[in-house]
Amino acid sequence: MPNGIKVPMPTLERLANYLTIFSDLKIRNVETVSSADLESRAGINAAQFRKDLSYFGEFGRPGIGYNVNELQARISRILNLQKTQSVLLVGAGNLGAALAGYHPLRTENFQIVAAFDNNPNKIGKQLWDLTIQDIDEIISVNKVLQARIGIIAVPASAAQETAERLVSANVVNILNFAPTFIRIPSNVTVRHIDFLQELAVLSYYLPEDD
């Protein structure tokens, strides 16, 4: 990063998106694109794309455009996706199972390396290629695994406690699927995926034809 300054969160969120577009382009054997190409092909804003990249240096050549391979490689690196990131999963219910079996994760270099639950009926059972472990073991298990990302896939009522356990196991980044707000220390980053919130927003836009 040439300048050590603040990258806007919307920019960061878009970077991951750009990556999927680049994968598509590679499949179609597109080697070079201009920001205008990207706008017409993928519905992104050309000016915004260039502005987003500008936080991280120079990526293209005036008059020519961008090399797709280079773009992909450099943005992957910015997002720390160049090597596999280990992820802990807490909650081996339906959602946890879906996440653990979600193939695109591997494609993007994320690997769920352990699954935990507090239900004695589940502990010891298999979840795909993982053995579900006792949440009480999370600290010692992660001393070995050294994962820094954790996923909360437990009911809302258990989310806060789960967050605290993850933090005590040295996880610093949490993806929370429970429909509730969790309090965490300021050095920990949380992203919240809330189906209900998304559906509620959609519901607002419903035509009132009844």
Partner DNA sequence: TAGATTGTTAATCGATTAACAATC
Contacts with DNA, residue ranges (CB under 7 A): 6, 8-11, 33-36, 45-48, 50-51, 53-54, 58-66
Give least dist CB 71 to a copy of itself, A: 15
Beta strand segments in the chain, E: 32-33, 60-61, 65-67, 85-90, 110-117, 126-127, 130-134, 149-152, 173-176, 189-192
Which distant-in-sequence residues (6+ apart) come within 8 Å of 27 by Cβ?
A: none
Give the side-chain half-sphere CA count within 13 A for 40. Answer: 4
Exposure of 176 by Cβ count < 10 A (0-12 exposed, 13-18 middle, 19+ buried)? buried
Give least dist CB 63 to a copy of itself, A: 28
Helix (H, G, I), strand (E, B) or coil at 156: helix
Among 59, 67, 74, 105, binds a copy of itself (CB under 8 A): 105
- Count Cβ atoms below 10 Å from residue 139 Cβ, excluding itself: 13
Nearer to DNA, 6 or 28 (CB): 6
Q: Is 181 in the site for a copy of itself (CB under 8 A)?
A: yes
Nearer to a copy of itself, 63 or 104 (CB): 104
Q: Which does 179 bind (CB under 5 to 8 A by kind): DNA, a copy of itself, none?
A: a copy of itself
Give least dist CB 129 to DNA, A: 39
Residue corresponding to tokens 């034809």:
209
Residues at the site binding a copy of itself, with contacts judged by CB under 8 A? 9, 12-13, 15-17, 19-21, 42-43, 78-81, 85, 87, 93-95, 97-99, 101-102, 104-105, 108, 110, 148-149, 156, 172-175, 179-181, 183, 189, 191, 193-208
